[in-house]
């Protein structure tokens, strides 16, 4: 993924992507502008396809993703910047499937605001995010750290009390 920081001013950050935005939920507001091309999008629980030019406003804690259908340029304007997620790493690949979600939900419920941890899974755990966002509305920070075949590393952080 090619993302270039264009600039920043007074806690406002501008990034330009040519390849898309992976699903993420962050603790600050963001605006995404599809400058050229078309893309599939996910905003909260809503999915669709959009043509440029198009603007998406994303509130704190809402998940957003933009996957280009063809060549696309995407501008992100954010009122905050990702902080490194600190905490332990839980490798779910060695946990029984039926115990994975309850384990992560319990760990998340024990966090204080601003605390986090990482999970490693053998497939995209996006359904876990949806389950967590229903249980903890606007409190789940979610970010893809590393994605390979059969390896997904996600940073999870508690956003609000």
Predicted confidence (pLDDT) per residue in 61-70, tens digit: 999 999 999 8
pTM: predicted TM-score of the whole model, two decimal places: 0.82
H/E run at residue 56: strand 54-58
Output DSSP code: residue 79. Answer: S
* Residue range 68-115, pLDDT digits in tens: 998 899 999 998 777 777 789 999 999 999 999 999 999 999 999 999
> CA 140 → CA 6, 18, 40, distances in Å?
27, 27, 23
Select from 22, 21, 45 the least CA-distant residue to 33: 21
């Amino acid at each position: 993924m090619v993302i270039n920081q264009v600039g920043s001013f007074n806690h406002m950050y501008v990034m330009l992507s040519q390849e898309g935005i992976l699903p993420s939920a962050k603790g600050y507001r963001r605006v995404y502008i599809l400058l050229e091309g078309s893309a599939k999008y996910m905003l909260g629980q809503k999915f669709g396809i959009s043509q440029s030019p198009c603007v998406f406003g994303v509130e704190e804690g809402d998940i957003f993703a933009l996957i280009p259908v063809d060549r696309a340029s995407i501008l992100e304007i954010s009122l905050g910047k990702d902080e490194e997620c600190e905490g332990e790493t839980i490798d779910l690949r060695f946990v029984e499937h039926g115990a994975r979600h309850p384990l992560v939900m319990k760990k998340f419920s024990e966090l204080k605001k601003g605390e986090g941890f990482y999970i490693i899974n053998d497939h995209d755990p996006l359904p876990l995010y949806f389950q967590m966002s229903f249980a903890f509305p606007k409190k789940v920070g979610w970010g893809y750290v590393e994605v390979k075949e059969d390896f997904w590393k996600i940073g999870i952080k508690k956003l609000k009390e």
